[in-house]
Amino acid sequence: MGNNDWKENLRFVYSTNPDFQAGDARPEEPATLPATQQKLRVQVEKNHRGGKVVTLVRGFVGSEEDLKDLGRLLKTKCGVGGSVKDGVILVQGDLKQKIVGILLAQGYKNTK
């Protein structure tokens, strides 16, 4: 198989910019801050979830992959399900105290 770089440019129809490069459209992911500099907020929410309670973890600064890894760790340690959407970790159930304890043990010092 040959080099298929032209297939990546199919999503661009036309550009009037003479300096346009096809790679310009991809945003860079922010660098993941160390655990001690993260300002995570843990809260319990019930609204718009059919009466089910979920615990939300917000404020993570870093790559999507690192956020998913943290979400996987929290779900595994709590033994429940959940998901990672739009930069927010959702863990099923009212587990605020347990999640704060896990985050503090992992080195996330600025956690409420």
Domain enclosing residue 85, as ranges: 29-111
Burial of 32 (0-12, 13-18, 19+ CB in 10 A): middle
CATH code of the domain in which 81 resides: 3.30.780.10
CB atoms < 10 A from the CB of 79, how many?
9
- Is residue 65 in a domain? yes
Give how many domains the chain has, as a whole number. Answer: 1
pLDDT tens for each residue of 17-42: 788 776 645 567 778 889 899 999 99
Whose tokens are 């991809």? That residue is 26
- Is residue 42 in a domain? yes
pLDDT tens for each residue of 84-111: 999 999 999 999 999 999 999 999 998 8
- Is residue 17 in a domain? no
Beta pairing, strands 82-85 & 88-92: antiparallel
Note the pTM of the prediction, 2 decimals: 0.74
Quick one: pLDDT at residue 22? 64
